[in-house]
């Protein structure tokens, strides 16, 4: 979490240099995507590279924000505008986001911890419940 700024900076550079086909998360052998949301205040496209949990045909995102005490901007944007896009290896996919709550959240949280145990450390550091979103493909 201490290297978050460097990782985000380097990941942006890799994304730009390789047209979205390379990311630090992917180089580490983990699934990554580029999420493009609509800014809740600006209305402009906002992109960020993220680790995701592949679940069937869906993409599951955890708004850990590297263990910071507040939700990342992309989570706030998804709540305001759930229609968004992801890019996998530079290829865009239209999706719609849905935030999980209650028992559905609890069940997914257990799956997420089995997938990436680091979320537990990030949640402890953040001292907040980490929001979880399921992104489902929509027809173009």
Each residue of 44-75: pLDDT tens digit?
999 988 889 999 999 999 999 988 899 999 99
57: left (phi over 0), alpha (psi -120 to 50) or beta: alpha
pLDDT over 60 (residue 109): yes
**Triad 120, 108, 89: Cα angle to 5°:** 85
Cα 123 from Cα 102, distance rounded (Å): 17
Tokens of 74: 């992309």
Q: How far apart are CA 80 and CA 39, in angstroms?
A: 8
The whole-number pLDDT of residue 17 equals: 54
- Could you give the C-alpha distances from 28 to 5, 41, 75, 79, 96, in angstroms and in order? 17, 34, 24, 29, 27
**Tokens representing 68?**
């910071």
The structure's pTM equals: 0.83
Q: Sorting pLDDT into bands at 50, 70 and 90, what band is 139?
A: confident
| Lookup result for tokens 């910071």 | 68
Taking the alpha carbons of 1, 84, 86, 96 in that order, is the dihedral positive or negative?
positive
The pLDDT, as a whole number, for residue 20 is 57
Which two structure tokens, joined as six digits, stand for 87?
Answer: 């890019």
Q: Binning pLDDT at 50, 70 and 90, where does residue 131 land?
A: very high
- pLDDT average, residue stretch 69-92: 94
């Amino acid at each position: 979490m201490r290297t978050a700024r460097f990782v985000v900076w380097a990941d942006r550079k890799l994304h730009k240099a390789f047209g979205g086909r390379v990311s630090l998360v992917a180089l580490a052998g983990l699934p990554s995507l580029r999420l493009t949301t609509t800014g809740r205040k600006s209305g402009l496209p906002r992109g960020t590279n993220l680790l995701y949990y592949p679940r069937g045909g869906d993409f599951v995102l955890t708004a850990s924000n590297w263990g910071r005490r507040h939700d990342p901007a992309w989570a706030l944007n998804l709540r305001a505008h759930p229609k968004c896009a992801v890019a996998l290896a530079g290829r865009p996919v239209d999706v719609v986001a849905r935030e999980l709550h209650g028992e559905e959240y609890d069940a997914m949280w257990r799956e997420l911890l089995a997938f990436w145990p680091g979320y537990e450390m990030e949640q402890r550091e953040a001292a907040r419940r980490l929001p979880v979103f399921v992104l489902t493909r929509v027809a173009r």
